[in-house]
Chains A and B, each alone.
Chain A
């Protein structure tokens, strides 16, 4: 639009016109220096109004709803026609007939007093005069904070119990979109993260209440507890005692949301806060030694849990009742398993060799580690002994063996064998070559003048005596003899029970200790268990605390492998098998 602006001033009584041609789409009016028409005044904004030309029709519009006066009326917008007078404070703009070549024209009469007076007032010289503010950003930011980290998360709590929509079958509120993950103070244990995920309400059930044990027990049912260990001497009072000691909840020790994610408390303070003074634990603990760590003077010597036999009368013979008894490691108490077994002979390559390789036996030939890496599988005659130790009893018939286990069957087997040897003319030991026999006698029978049956029985009685008292059973077993005439009732082989759990209150990982660099298996085992020097099975081959302490110590000990109380003693022990 070509716009003619005619400024009318009165100079010493003379009217002076100053023409300005403007070529622009819109004519801007305001107090700033960049406005096409610059008018200043207290209430005139830097950009106050614009005049636009639309198809020959001029329209004046206030910027940002600014007002002005047209023909005496306060307006925000007005369609202009020739002769209209627009007032900005005391400045007047009159719409005039455009001369040829112009689209529009107007005369402006500037109030110079106001114009000059207001010169400085339009300058914005401080940040407070600008659109920058402190309140609005403060309100907006705060509202953003409240909505995102308070309202959104807290809605998860109040909406979590929303009913399931019967139409869709989905809960109307999805945990997946819950904002309360923003309240999590740290990562969950991976197992918990996997199981619970972001469902905070799985544990945080009631607002402003600490997580209760029930939340843990929801999943962890049947966890064995320190004070329900089955030790009747302590009775049930330990449970109450722990409450006295401030251990009231799972949470007392197991805190979630820690970094790094770890819930198992391994610090010694867990135990020694109480066990540094046994009287703290229980009045009946008087005399029990204090524990404050795992150094030579802070942990008492180990006590071995012996499994001992008690011989009792049983029928015509004897029987065995087993009981446990604690003895200090290194005490004179022998291990009484009723088995005779010299470790030294079996580990001596000169005396015992493995069939085929002719090498010495290794420990694992008999001792097979259980899957718990602590205990060993039971040793049985059939699995571990019989490959070398057969139970033959008749040199003439070396393939004939006694059954293992029941003395009555053993006696019966001997009788049957020899009666047959003496009575069956066709008897021939399996695998033996046919050879000439004297009439009335079978091969292998020794000379006997009596009837074949009596000869057989007599021979059987002698052999049974030999088996139970000289060689055979008695080689490995303790045999009790009541001198009865009845050979079925005379001998009792005492049952064997090998102690499998010398340290019932401790856990130990054999597997992690079986490091073998530069050592044979037997060397590794015998570095703790001196089996090579043990000639009798009454020897206790379980090492004591000094053996552990040669490598391990607590935090106060330098240059040793650190162990905590819970490295060996579980607070929540696995359910122990019957000792």
Chain B
């Protein structure tokens, strides 16, 4: 499944791209004479047309991706060609403009194109590296299986804590209820844990009510149970707390795994949130670039 898209069919599209670039360089080199190299020579128009066609075709990957019944080549082949030809655009467009830049729509289109391509490089990197990291983290079980395991652990912990001191029960219950998984984009990507739990009332305080404290990485609840064990007066209570502690630690490890999974998954997706909007903006900038060139021909 995770065959390297760069090596698709022995790098078929790499060689196609190199051949195309060789032709582009040859076309570029025929410039000179009456006019310096420029986007406005016939060579410039040819390279520019090629670049525009490439951009539109590369954008069509988004369409092809959703068209599962397509017989127009395999998705892997498209992705491989997408990466190589997309990268080649850096060169094609640079030859087209003959390295002339300014504060104008033309350079805007070029700049957007570069941003799209570089965000694409980010995508290639995570697709190369993260699937294996993710599989290793999950130990070959699916995310749904991890959550099923968590649900059963939650149930066991709740059941066990009911046999304990009501205060222990309330704290453990709140720790489960107020466990945080995922969250906003930053929380997902940085694996930030905003879990909370109730803190038992301070024995010295006049107040009898509990307050909420951070339960980051479930450490607070683990510590809380661990401290209760030596204070337990009955044999049974101690054993129950011991078992509860073991389960909370398993739960802690499982949550770490889930959070890591969400984090890896997030990084595998986040580049698209740049790549796609920038691509759409690029299409508009490209269209305006072409209109502008011929409007003021």
A133 to B292, CA, bound (A): 30
Query: Contact flags (1/0) for B31-64 with A, using CB distance below 8 Å?
Result: 0111110111000000000000000000000000
A-side contacts of B36, CB under 8 Å: 258-260, 262
Asked if A141 and B280 sit within 8 Å, CB to CB, the answer is: yes
CB-based nearest A residue for B285? A145
**Smallest CB separation, B274 vs chain A (Å):** 9
Which residue from B98, B178, B272 sits with its C-beta under 8 Å from A38?
A: B178
A125 to B262, CA, bound (A): 6
Which of B75-83, B120-128, B202-210, B228-236 lies on the face that meets chain A? B202-210
Asked if B276 and A134 sit within 8 Å, CB to CB, the answer is: yes
CB-based nearest B residue for A142? B284
A-side contacts of B150, CB under 8 Å: 120
Q: A568 at interface (Cβ–Cβ under 8 A)?
A: no
A140 to B278, CA, bound (A): 10
A33 to B195, CA, bound (A): 6
A545 to B134, CA, bound (A): 78
CB-based nearest A residue for B97? A185
A-side contacts of B183, CB under 8 Å: 124, 130
A177 to B119, CA, bound (A): 35
Query: Contact flags (1/0) for B259-297 with A, using CB distance below 8 Å?
Result: 000100110011011001111110111001001111111
Asked if B100 and A124 sit within 8 Å, CB to CB, the answer is: no
A119 to B100, CA, bound (A): 58
B-side contacts of A150, CB under 8 Å: 105, 288, 291-292
Asked if B32 and A186 sit within 8 Å, CB to CB, the answer is: no
Which residue from A21, A129, A209 sits with its C-beta under 8 Å from B182?
A: A129
Q: B138 at interface (Cβ–Cβ under 8 A)?
A: no
Query: In the complex, which residues 121-160 of chain A have their Cβ closer than 8 Å to any Cβ of chain B?
Result: 123-134, 137-142, 144-146, 149-150, 153-154, 157
Q: B188 at interface (Cβ–Cβ under 8 A)?
A: yes
Query: In the complex, which residues 10-35 of chain B have their Cβ closer than 8 Å to any Cβ of chain A?
Result: 32-35
Asked if A124 and B184 sit within 8 Å, CB to CB, the answer is: yes
Asked if B269 and A127 sit within 8 Å, CB to CB, the answer is: yes
**Smallest CB separation, B42 vs chain A (Å):** 12
Q: B192 at interface (Cβ–Cβ under 8 A)?
A: no
Whether A19 touches B276, Cβ cut-off 8 Å, given contacts A129-B182, A183-B296, A204-B296, is no
Q: B181 at interface (Cβ–Cβ under 8 A)?
A: yes
Whether A124 touches B297, Cβ cut-off 8 Å, given contacts A34-B194, A34-B196, A149-B285, is no
Query: Contact flags (1/0) for A4-42 with B, using CB distance below 8 Å?
Result: 000000000000001111100000000011101010000
Asked if A125 and B104 sit within 8 Å, CB to CB, the answer is: no
Whether A149 touches B262, Cβ cut-off 8 Å, given contacts A125-B188, A127-B273, A182-B103, is no
Asked if B102 and A21 sit within 8 Å, CB to CB, the answer is: no
**Smallest CB separation, B275 vs chain A (Å):** 9
Which residue from B262, B278, B297 sits with its C-beta under 8 Å from A211?
A: B297
A-side contacts of B262, CB under 8 Å: 125-126
Which of A264-272, A284-292, A314-322, A327-335 lies on the face that meets chain B? A264-272
Give the interface centre of B177, B195, B266, B283 by most chain A CB atoms within 10 Å.
B177
Asked if B281 and A145 sit within 8 Å, CB to CB, the answer is: yes
CB-based nearest B residue for A205? B296
Asked if B108 and A149 sit within 8 Å, CB to CB, the answer is: yes
Asked if A182 and B105 sit within 8 Å, CB to CB, the answer is: yes
B-side contacts of A154, CB under 8 Å: 295
Q: A164 at interface (Cβ–Cβ under 8 A)?
A: no
Asked if B292 and A153 sit within 8 Å, CB to CB, the answer is: yes
Asked if B273 and A134 sit within 8 Å, CB to CB, the answer is: yes
Count chain B residues whose beta carbon lies closer than 8 angstroms to a beta carbon of A: 68
B-side contacts of A207, CB under 8 Å: 295-296
A-side contacts of B283, CB under 8 Å: 142
**Smallest CB separation, A378 vs chain B (Å):** 40
Q: B240 at interface (Cβ–Cβ under 8 A)?
A: no
Q: A180 at interface (Cβ–Cβ under 8 A)?
A: yes
B-side contacts of A141, CB under 8 Å: 277-278, 280-281
B-side contacts of A208, CB under 8 Å: 294-295, 297
CB-based nearest A residue for B278? A141
**Smallest CB separation, A297 vs chain B (Å):** 22
Q: A412 at interface (Cβ–Cβ under 8 A)?
A: no
A-side contacts of B195, CB under 8 Å: 33
Whether A142 touches B280, Cβ cut-off 8 Å, given contacts A186-B100, A258-B38, is yes
Q: B242 at interface (Cβ–Cβ under 8 A)?
A: no
Q: A520 at interface (Cβ–Cβ under 8 A)?
A: no
**Smallest CB separation, B116 vs chain A (Å):** 11
Q: A253 at interface (Cβ–Cβ under 8 A)?
A: yes
A305 to B32, CA, bound (A): 35
Q: A354 at interface (Cβ–Cβ under 8 A)?
A: no
Which residue from B170, B188, B295 sits with its C-beta under 8 Å from A183?
A: B295
CB-based nearest B residue for A257? B40
A232 to B293, CA, bound (A): 42
Asked if A269 and B34 sit within 8 Å, CB to CB, the answer is: yes
A427 to B177, CA, bound (A): 144
**Smallest CB separation, A51 vs chain B (Å):** 17
A20 to B212, CA, bound (A): 11
Query: In the complex, which residues 145-201 of chain B have their Cβ closer than 8 Å to any Cβ of chain A?
Result: 147, 150-151, 154, 170, 176-185, 188, 194-196, 198
A19 to B143, CA, bound (A): 37
Asked if A120 and B151 sit within 8 Å, CB to CB, the answer is: yes
Q: B257 at interface (Cβ–Cβ under 8 A)?
A: no
Give the interface centre of A18, A204, A259 by most chain B CB atoms within 10 Å.
A259
Asked if A32 and B180 sit within 8 Å, CB to CB, the answer is: yes
Asked if B104 and A258 sit within 8 Å, CB to CB, the answer is: no
- The 9 closest A-B CB pairs, nearest first, are A21-B209, A33-B178, A141-B281, A137-B277, A138-B277, A138-B280, A149-B105, A183-B292, A204-B296
Question: Using a CB–CB distance below 8 Å, which chain B residues touch chain A?
Answer: 32-36, 38-40, 98, 100, 102-106, 108, 112, 143, 147, 150-151, 154, 170, 176-185, 188, 194-196, 198, 207-210, 212, 258, 262, 265-266, 269-270, 272-273, 276-281, 283-285, 288, 291-297
Name 21 interchain pairs, CB-CB below 8 A, sorted by A: A19-B208, A21-B209, A33-B180, A116-B154, A123-B181, A127-B185, A131-B184, A132-B185, A134-B277, A138-B276, A138-B279, A141-B281, A142-B280, A142-B281, A142-B284, A157-B295, A207-B296, A255-B38, A258-B35, A258-B36, A269-B33
A145-B288, A208-B297, A258-B35 given; 17 more Cβ-contact pairs under 8 Å: A20-B210, A22-B209, A33-B195, A34-B178, A116-B154, A123-B182, A124-B188, A125-B258, A126-B266, A130-B184, A131-B184, A146-B284, A149-B105, A185-B100, A200-B296, A258-B38, A267-B34
